Amino acid sequence: MIEVKKHRSKILLGIAILFVSCSTVERDNFYDKGGINYMGGSGSGQIIYGEPVEYGGETYETVVIGTQTWMARNLNYVTGNSKCNNDNPANCAIYGRLYDWAAMMALSPSCNSSNNFDVCIPSAIHRGICPSGWHIPSTDEWDTLEGFVGSSNAGTKLKASSGWEHYGNGTDNYGFAALPGGSDNNNSIVGSDIGTIGVWWTAQAFSVRTMSYNEESVYHYGRYGKGSVRCLKD
């Protein structure tokens, strides 16, 4: 009788294990929206990497942040009206190239004039100089990124954990690794900006996002000149 009870207990235990294993299937594919790690980084600091992208002779790592997939470094794609900050090729290797708005959007240079805005309005998703399947992020898409990581200190969480001067490094919670590649204003490159300021274009005419060594937030400005580019997956 005791042996029968033991045998019955083993059967029940086996059924319970089988039930649990079938009802809690792990989906940990980083590219699967149903995966347990898809939203990784949400408060945990876990960085979720996407598939690398080969473009223009370079490899770009990608990161999944919320529902978006971003390139993990600035674009370094050679095109007209782009340059290395301070005309130093070493800066392009570290920070990517700086582009004027029309060049970044792959539009006519005449679109750099406010007189032509009415004929230079981009589509909802505009590829610009990004690779196929990627596009220039809109202001709304930047807002989504900032809102997901925490708008009040988004700059701190998106900045790289090294490379910023004056103790301005971030915590890089999500692998965005924003670096201070500097910028220019009115097309006059200011090399001293390197190490302290980063400026990124949006698809909206002359609208940028900036991060600074001495600020926790991401700031929204309108400006001319040149800035960096991050591509966002379609």
**Do 47 and 160 meet the contact criterion of CB atoms below 8 Å apart?**
no
Segments making up each domain of the chain, as ranges:
1-27, 48-233
| CB atoms closer than 10 angstroms to residue 142 | 24
Q: What is the per-residue DSSP string for 23-36?
A: HS-----TT-TTST
pTM: 0.79
Q: What is the pLDDT along the chain (234 residues), one digit of tens a residue?
A: 444 444 444 444 444 433 333 333 333 444 444 444 444 433 445 799 999 999 999 999 999 999 999 999 999 999 988 999 988 999 999 999 999 999 999 998 988 887 776 678 776 789 999 999 999 999 999 999 999 999 899 999 999 999 999 999 999 999 999 999 998 765 554 455 899 999 999 999 889 999 999 999 999 998 778 999 999 999
Cα separation, 17 vs 176, in Å, equals 41
Quick one: tokens of 87? 């005309």
What type of residue is 181? Answer: G
What type of residue is 46? Answer: Q
Please provide residue 116's backbone torsions phi and psi, each rounded to the nearest 5 degrees: -115, 15
